[in-house]
């Protein structure tokens, strides 16, 4: 075989072919399907191939390709594993290890105690496909051939001087991309070693596993259970081990640079000395970097996130390290179950609210697709939530159930209860099963546990975590003062396009108008009615979730009809939902575009007039709500006279012209003025049901508004 042809393969696959052809590995496995051209290249080296169909725990198909010099080996593997689920039980790990040619001492040690620190150089450990056991007598002999073939592969690919660590692969399962390896196989059972004095306690560690609740949320482990994956290694200790291995063998895109200094630092626990410098871990494409003292690496190797040396002390930043080294876990990125053309885990209607592009999977081009990046940001907020009721900020309450469940993807054990995240400002809460939190920590929103399954809507989670009571206030174009009304709409209601809150009550004018008009629509009688405005409901056979808050809303609409003026307007239930919460625009603008408040006002009888000469017209608005209103209630009368001067008289008259109630007499108000009529006359007596007129006199002009009082 011409070895130069191997450059037609992926580097790691080519390296695996060389190892197999040399006999160092009697059988090798590549997790994924190969093209026919790749298969031909492997066959040209005298190897035989078989494909094996496997299934994940939730039934997703996984294809493996195995190759060897002997057909009996690939045939045996295919017969044993074809059609089976992926498992990492001790028996399976033992059988695979023997088939792949790993030393039996390393296999058994790994089953009992994964990642036991050894004296193998990290660069050598990285090019192996098994984790060497301490004091192994076989691995050093194998390493000579591994180094030779690895150097040969580097030479074939044109970079014989490249350091091995620059080719490393990733967190908790190098085999998932590289090939079958025992190193970092998640879920393998083992026995916990005796407690190490380097394991220092941390605050808010409910299950005494040396990792805080906030860190467990970031890591995706169970803060009620010290060993979430059941491998007899405490979660905090296992996290430290995994970080150390990832730093020693960083994934693609991550660079680890040594900054040695002239001096030594002593560990305050075991008195071992290390260089007083640090390593800089950088993900250039994501613009992320963190420095870790060598003493911190020493503690990670011992299973501790804390470090305490003669010069440096502190705690490794798990959030920052995870964002650089392991931002997501692809097997946990289950399909979203909706329209997701760019396959980034976010639905098309969600992406605008999340400020991502529904046509581009990695909007900011930082190498992490949008869904996991959104999950990463939301998870950071969740990890910082207070876990008790708060009056003025989001908080999280834990509802533990009497039982556990397992993540169907990785087998991690989680309580089958939920965390309820509450936002007092929005009056909104969302229940997140603990298995869903685990999934979000791995970059996904679709979760699959043995008891709970479904999808967390990321936009709703964002609202609960960040909302300040204005989440439904969608941006409005051509809105100078930002009050939710366009500059063209404001004059109709006598409002100033440059003053967002004319009545100075703390609520923007457009937001207040939206909720007010919505209340009028809710109070309209159902029709048909011969002489008053009424509503006709047109429900549909279907619903949409509000992208912002998750409320289920009928896809139909209501029709508002004024039979006297022969006017009508349609308002979808979706738009009405947003009006209830202060907006005329929605978060599904393609399906439910902005409604024009002037059209709704016109049908409700809210007209716009003017004061002064026509050539210098100034908007004059007079309207009331509710209308009609009951004798036991009240109606709010709104008057706007921008720019008007002189004396103003506002009063209520009955149908005979008798003055019933004085409301205002004085100078023309320069801001929106509101009056409340409770249906009583000047003597405090309840007025009779019937038609009344609200008259506003200013100078020689009178504007009248008809109001109906009913029993």
Question: Which position has the token pair 């050894």?
Answer: 118
pLDDT grade for 80, boundaries at 50, 70 and 90? confident
Mean pLDDT of 185-208: 68
Mean pLDDT of 315-344: 92
In contact, 103 and 74? CB cutoff 8 Å: no
pLDDT at 1 over 50: no
pLDDT at 358 over 90: yes
The confidence score (pLDDT) of residue 63 equals 86
The confidence score (pLDDT) of residue 56 equals 65
pLDDT digits over 630-654, tens only? 878 888 888 877 667 788 999 999 9
In contact, 484 and 509? CB cutoff 8 Å: yes
The confidence score (pLDDT) of residue 320 equals 95
Overall pTM surpassing 0.85 (yes/no): no
* Alpha helix positions (H), 23-121: 36-43, 71-81, 90-99, 104-112
pLDDT at 171 over 60: no
The confidence score (pLDDT) of residue 3 equals 57
Whole-angstrom distance, CA of residue 706 vs CA of residue 652:
10
Whole-angstrom distance, CA of residue 93 vs CA of residue 225:
25
pLDDT at 535 over 80: yes
The confidence score (pLDDT) of residue 593 equals 94
Whole-angstrom distance, CA of residue 225 vs CA of residue 640:
63
Q: Concatenate the DSSP letters of all residues of 517-557 into one string.
A: HHHHHHHSPBS--SSS-EEEEE--S-EEE-TTT--EEES-E
- The first and second tokens of residue 108, run together, are 């058994």
Mean residue pLDDT of the chain comes to 85
Mean pLDDT of 375-384: 96
Q: Concatenate the DSSP letters of all residues of 651-681 into one string.
A: EEEETTS-EEEEEEEEEPPSS-EEEEE-SB-
- The first and second tokens of residue 113, run together, are 């105690």
Question: Which position has the token pair 């997701």?
Answer: 340
pLDDT at 412 over 90: no
pLDDT grade for 394, boundaries at 50, 70 and 90? very high
pLDDT grade for 587, boundaries at 50, 70 and 90? very high
Tell me which of 705 and 570 has the higher pLDDT: 570
Category of 115 on φ-ψ map: left (φ > 0), alpha (ψ -120 to 50) or beta: left
CA atoms within 13 A on the CB side of 155: 8
Mean pLDDT of 577-591: 94
pLDDT grade for 140, boundaries at 50, 70 and 90? confident
Whole-angstrom distance, CA of residue 428 vs CA of residue 29:
49
Whole-angstrom distance, CA of residue 506 vs CA of residue 2:
78
Whole-angstrom distance, CA of residue 616 vs CA of residue 88:
83
Estimate to the nearest angstrom the gap between the alpha carbon of 170 and the chain centroid.
23
pLDDT at 253 over 70: yes
Whole-angstrom distance, CA of residue 110 vs CA of residue 233:
12
The confidence score (pLDDT) of residue 168 equals 29
The confidence score (pLDDT) of residue 57 equals 54
Whole-angstrom distance, CA of residue 476 vs CA of residue 511:
11
The DSSP letter of residue 196 is P
Q: What percent of the chain has pLDDT over 70?
A: 91
- The first and second tokens of residue 707, run together, are 């109001």
Radius of gyration (C-alpha) of the chain in whole angstroms: 35
Could you give the maximum distance between any two Cα atoms of the chain, in Å?
112
Mean pLDDT of 584-610: 83
């Amino acid at each position: 075989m011409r070895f130069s042809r191997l450059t037609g393969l992926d580097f790691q696959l080519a390296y695996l072919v060389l190892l197999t052809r040399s006999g160092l590995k009697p059988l090798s496995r590549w997790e994924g399907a190969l093209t026919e051209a790749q298969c031909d290249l492997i066959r040209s080296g005298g190897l035989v191939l078989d494909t094996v169909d496997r299934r994940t725990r939730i039934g997703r198909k996984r294809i493996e390709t195995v190759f060897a010099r002997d057909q009996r080996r690939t045939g045996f593997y295919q017969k044993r594993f074809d059609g089976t689920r992926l498992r990492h039980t001790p028996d399976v790990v033992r059988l695979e290890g023997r088939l792949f040619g790993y030393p039996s001492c390393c296999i058994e040690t790994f089953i009992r105690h994964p990642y036991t620190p050894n004296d193998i150089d990290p660069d050598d450990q990285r090019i192996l496909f098994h984790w060497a056991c301490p004091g192994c007598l076989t691995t050093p002999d194998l390493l000579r051939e591994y180094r030779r073939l690895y150097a040969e592969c580097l030479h074939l690919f044109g970079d014989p001087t490249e350091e091995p660590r620059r080719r490393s692969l990733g967190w908790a399962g190098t085999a998932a991309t590289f090939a079958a390896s025992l190193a970092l196989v998640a879920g393998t059972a083992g026995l916990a070693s005796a407690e190490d004095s380097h394991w220092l306690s941390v605050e808010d560690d409910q299950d005494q596993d040396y990792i805080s609740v906030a860190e467990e949320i970031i890591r995706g482990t169970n803060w009620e259970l010290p060993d979430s994956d059941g491998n007899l290694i405490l979660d905090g200790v296992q996290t430290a081990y995994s970080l150390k291995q990832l730093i020693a063998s960083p994934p693609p895109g991550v660079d680890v640079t040594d900054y040695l200094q002239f001096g030594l630092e002593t560990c305050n626990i075991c008195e071992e000395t290390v260089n007083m410098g640090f390593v800089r871990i950088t993900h250039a494409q994501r613009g992320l970097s963190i420095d870790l003292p060598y003493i911190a690496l020493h503690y990670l190797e011992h299973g501790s996130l804390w470090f305490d040396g003669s010069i440096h002390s502190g705690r490794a930043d798990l959030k920052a390290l995870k964002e650089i080294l392991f931002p997501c876990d692809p097997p946990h990125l289950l399909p979203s179950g909706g329209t997701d053309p760019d396959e980034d885990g976010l639905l098309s209607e969600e992406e605008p609210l999340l400020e991502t592009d529904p046509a581009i999977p990695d909007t900011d081009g930082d190498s992490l697709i949008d869904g996991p990046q959104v999950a990463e940001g939301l998870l950071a907020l969740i990890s910082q939530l207070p876990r008790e009721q708060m009056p003025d900020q989001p908080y999280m309450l834990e509802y533990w159930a009497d039982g556990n469940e397992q993540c169907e993807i990785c087998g991690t054990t989680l309580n089958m209860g939920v965390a309820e995240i509450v936002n007092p400002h929005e009056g909104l809460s969302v229940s997140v099963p603990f298995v869903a939190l685990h999934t979000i920590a791995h970059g996904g929103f679709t979760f699959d546990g043995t008891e709970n399954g479904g999808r967390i809507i990321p936009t709703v989670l964002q609202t609960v975590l960040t909302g300040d009571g204005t989440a439904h206030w969608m941006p409005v174009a051509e809105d100078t003062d930002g009050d939710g009304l366009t500059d063209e709409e404001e004059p109709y209601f006598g409002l100033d396009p440059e003053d967002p809150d004319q009545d100075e009550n703390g609520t923007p004018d457009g937001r207040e108008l939206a909720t007010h008009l919505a209340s009028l629509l809710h109070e309209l009688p159902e029709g048909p009615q011969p002489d008053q405005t009424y509503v006709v409901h047109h429900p549909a056979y279907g619903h949409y979730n509000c992208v912002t808050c998750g409320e289920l809303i009928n896809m139909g609409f209501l029709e508002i009809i004024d039979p006297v003026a022969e006017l009508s307007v349609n308002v979808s239930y979706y738009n009405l939902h947003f009006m209830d919460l202060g907006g005329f625009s929605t978060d599904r603008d393609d399906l439910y575009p902005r409604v024009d408040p002037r059209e709704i006002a016109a049908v409700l009888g809210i007209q716009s007039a003017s004061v002064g000469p026509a050539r210098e017209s100034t908007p004059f608005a007079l309207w009331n709500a509710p209308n009609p209103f009951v004798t036991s209630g009240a109606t709010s009368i709104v008057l706007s006279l921008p720019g008007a001067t002189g004396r103003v008289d506002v009063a209520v008259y009955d149908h005979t012209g008798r003055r019933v109630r004085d409301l205002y007499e004085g100078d023309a108000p320069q801001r929106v003025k509101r009056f409340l009529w409770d249906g009583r006359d000047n003597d405090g007596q309840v007025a009779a049901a019937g038609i009344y007129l609200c008259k506003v006199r200013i100078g020689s002009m009178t504007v009248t508004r008809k109001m109906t009082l009913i029993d």
